[in-house]
């Protein structure tokens, strides 16, 4: 599903992993305006880099979910979502 309330933000979808259900939103490089640290590799996601924002589906964005969101390199999230291992999700 798209997020029509935030201009420039990409698509959002639900994804099941071994750790539960998560909401995953794409962030196009054109709107990625600051540094984030990827919890999967502990490297910086530089401004202008397309990536994902992930948060637990059981946490509402309007009820404190902003603090539960994590910015991930797409490849790091894909690896993390398909296996158990290091990399804090929530």
pLDDT tens-digit series, residues 22-33: 999 999 999 999
Query: Coil, strand or helix: which one is 82?
Result: coil
In order of 37, 73, 79, the CA distances from 34 in angstroms are: 10, 14, 24
Q: Residue 62 falls within a domain, yes or no?
A: yes
Number of domains in the chain: 1
**38-75 pLDDT, tens per residue?**
999 999 999 999 999 999 988 765 555 678 899 999 99
In order of 14, 30, 39, 55, 60, the CA distances from 17 in angstroms are: 10, 28, 16, 12, 18
Q: Residue 2 falls within a domain, yes or no?
A: no
Q: Residue 90 falls within a domain, yes or no?
A: no
Which structural domain range is residue 23 located in?
12-81
Q: Residue 6 falls within a domain, yes or no?
A: no
> The pTM is what?
0.75
Nearest to 25 by CA among 65, 85, 83, 84: 65
Q: Residue 67 falls within a domain, yes or no?
A: yes
In angstroms, the CA 40 to CA 63 distance is 25
Q: Residue 38 falls within a domain, yes or no?
A: yes
């Amino acid at each position: 599903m798209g997020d029509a309330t935030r201009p420039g933000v990409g698509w959002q979808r639900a994804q099941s992993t071994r750790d539960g259900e998560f909401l995953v939103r794409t962030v196009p490089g054109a709107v990625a305006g600051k540094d984030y640290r990827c919890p999967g590799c502990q490297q910086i996601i530089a401004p202008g880099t397309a990536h994902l924002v992930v948060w637990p589906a059981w946490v509402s964005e309007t009820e404190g979910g902003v603090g539960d969101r994590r910015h991930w390199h797409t490849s790091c999230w894909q690896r993390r979502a398909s296996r158990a291992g290091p990399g804090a999700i929530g």
